Amino acid sequence: MTFVQPTSAGWGVAGARQLAVIAPHPARVTCDHPTRRECAAVVAPVGYEIRIKGRLSDSLTGAFEDFTAAVKPAETVMRGEVRDQSELHGLLDQIQSLGLELIEVRRLPPESHE
């Protein structure tokens, strides 16, 4: 069965309402998605190690509040927990906007970041 629903585009040519065709979900896809509260209880933060070229100053490492930083001779290694992909992408955007050169992003095994 195929459903038809008005689009957000609104009215089209000669005042005709534009419609979008919505195909049903495949059998393996559920329509009953968990609530935010259920998701928060299920998804635990994951530890990440991020390596950045060069020695970051205290003010730069301070920009990454939830991470600990170890400054090595040629790089800075930051470790911390990331709650979801959105937060990880935000962190990577922050690194880029500060003009830092990213060397490596590595997901840590569960026992190594607790």
Q: Residue 3: pLDDT above 60?
A: no
Model pTM score: 0.60
Q: What average pLDDT score do residues 19-33 get?
A: 66
Band (pLDDT 50/70/90 cuts) for residue 35 is confident
Please state, in angstroms and as integers, the Cα–Cα distance from residue 85 to each residue in 43, 48, 54, 99, following that order.
Answer: 11, 12, 26, 21
**Structural domains in the chain plus CATH codes:** 44-112 (3.30.70.1150)
Which one has a higher pLDDT value, 24 or 105? 105
CB 110 within 8 A of CB 81: no
Q: Residue 38: pLDDT above 80?
A: no
Residue pLDDT, tens place only, 46-57 = 999 999 999 999
